[in-house]
Amino acid sequence: MVTSNKVFYFCVQLNKCLFCLLFSLLFSVSSAFANNPTKTTDQPVKQWADSVVQVLAYKGDQLLNQGSGVVVTTDGVVITSAHLLAYADRVVLQGDDSLNKSAAIISKNEVTDLAILRSSTLQQEPVKIALNSVSNNDSLEIAGYWSLSIERARGSFFSFSKRPKFVASELHNKSFAKALLNGSGAIDGRYSLIASIGRGGYGAPVVNRCGELLGIVSPKREMTLKQLWKPHLPTGVEVIDISILTAELSASNIVTKVADKPCLSAIEQQAQAQIKQQAQINKAKKKIKEAEKQVEKEKQARKEAEKGRSDITEIVSNINTKAESLGTENIEIKEDNKILFWSVVGAIAVAIFIILLLLINKKKSSRLAKEELKAATASFGDCRFEGVDSSGAPVAFIVLGKDLMQRKKGLVVGRNPDLSQVVIADDTVSREHARLFVKDNRLNIIDLGSTGGTQVNKQPVGPEGLIIIAGDIVEFGEVRCTLSILGGI
């Protein structure tokens, strides 16, 4: 009777242990699937450029001045530079369709050089207002209607009249320019940029990498209307900060569309990615520790099972010894004890076999967790290309290291945004110009049969490719950039 109770107690404890192990395995598998969501990638869009319009100021039927503006509401409200409207009695707006839309002046502030217009027939999609002001980490761009040539001057006969001393004309093509912040940021509601634009760029929007409005181009504060009416090209670019724009719009009770979250720069995105990566590392470490604890528990359970088997063997041996001493009349008792012994031994063998199988599976889970930790820590630094384009204007762009690591074939550099993941808007760059990819933790580049060719430190790059490192001079056609690699392994 004592033997049967001990066997029953041992079996109950063994079943509890096996149930716990099975539940732990199922939980680990479900957690692995839950923590591996489908990844999505942001696609670059340039919808903000559709919000840019051409501003034409007339005196009677004669065009006095021409510049740029940007749509900020769905009902056709446009913000532009106020000096463009001086002495004009009629204002016309043109979008991508080149159709004239009459506009009314809602407000004009000559102190801030801001004017608010409205055209009920304007159907342009409004630009979003950025939540944060400009910073050194921003990738900036300007769009408007300008020419890089100085406009033709009027004859001296008209020098007494109240109109510009240049001949303004309509432009039918929109221009774009990359820009870099010149300084630390906005001071007294203004900041300056390093960029190359024409006189028609006054009133043009400045946007961040998310296509959100950061300000509009304005003349320097010290310039008078007399100076602005002379044929000229802007020397440097001065911008009215978004804080001044929003205050002017609020004063006219105009509600704009504001971005729902701050636009992060490439450096800020990298910092967030590092935080996320560290969380994944910590999670993988936690899984390893849990697997090691479980293995230790199973070792202890196996020791207890072996001890229980030893105790049962000893009890059965004592029973057999007593049966032998009773003589031939107790032979049946001895035979029953043998059957009981081998039954218990068989049950113990089955239990040990199941425990060994669980140990093998746990070791496999621990190995997979370690592989997950290794994958989580693998990275490559962000690649910054900075230099000048074919016109001598500054150009800079960043290729995220995580994108290079996630794409086996790398990223295509080219002019066509539909075919390339890294876009360089320069006529000397082919639609699909070159390919960047990481192999053996090294950045490689190959030419994709481009027209202008690809060079590294003046060495032509062919289909076989070259390894490039920080400090190398990389040329895409006539766009020349210096490579720097930020962080990574």
The tens-digit pLDDT sequence of the chain (489 residues) is 444 444 444 444 544 444 444 444 434 434 433 344 333 333 344 789 999 999 999 999 999 999 999 999 999 999 999 999 999 999 999 988 889 999 999 999 999 999 999 999 998 899 999 988 888 878 899 999 999 999 888 765 545 568 899 999 999 999 999 999 988 888 999 999 999 999 999 999 999 989 999 999 999 989 999 999 999 999 889 999 999 999 999 999 999 999 888 888 767 667 777 777 788 888 878 888 888 888 888 888 888 878 877 777 777 777 777 766 666 555 665 676 677 778 777 778 887 888 888 777 766 666 665 655 554 455 788 999 999 999 998 999 999 888 888 888 899 999 999 999 999 999 999 999 999 999 988 999 999 999 999 999 999 999 899 999 999 999 999 999 999 998 755
Q: How many CB atoms lie within 10 A of CB 86?
A: 17
Q: How far apart are CA 174 and CA 310, in angstroms?
A: 90
* CA proximity to 225, closest of 67, 117, 57, 85: 85
pLDDT in tens, 289-338: 888 888 888 888 888 878 877 777 777 777 777 766 666 555 665 676 67
Strand (E) or helix (H) holding 342: helix 331-377
Domains and their CATH numbers in the chain? 49-252 (2.40.10.120), 382-486 (2.60.200.20)
Residue 486 buriedness (CB in 10 A; 0-12 / 13-18 / 19+): middle
**Lookup result for tokens 């304007």:** 122
- For CA atoms 206, 210, 211, 212, the dihedral sign is negative
pTM of the predicted protein model: 0.52
Pull the structure tokens for residue 190: 């203004």
What letters, b where the CB count within 10 A reaches 16 and e where it falls short, cover 275-286?
Answer: eeeeeeeeebee
Q: Could you tell me whether strands 205-207 and 212-218 are parallel, antiparallel, or unpaired per DSSP bridges?
A: antiparallel
What one-character DSSP code corresponds to residue 153?
A: B
Q: How many CB atoms lie within 10 A of CB 140?
A: 22
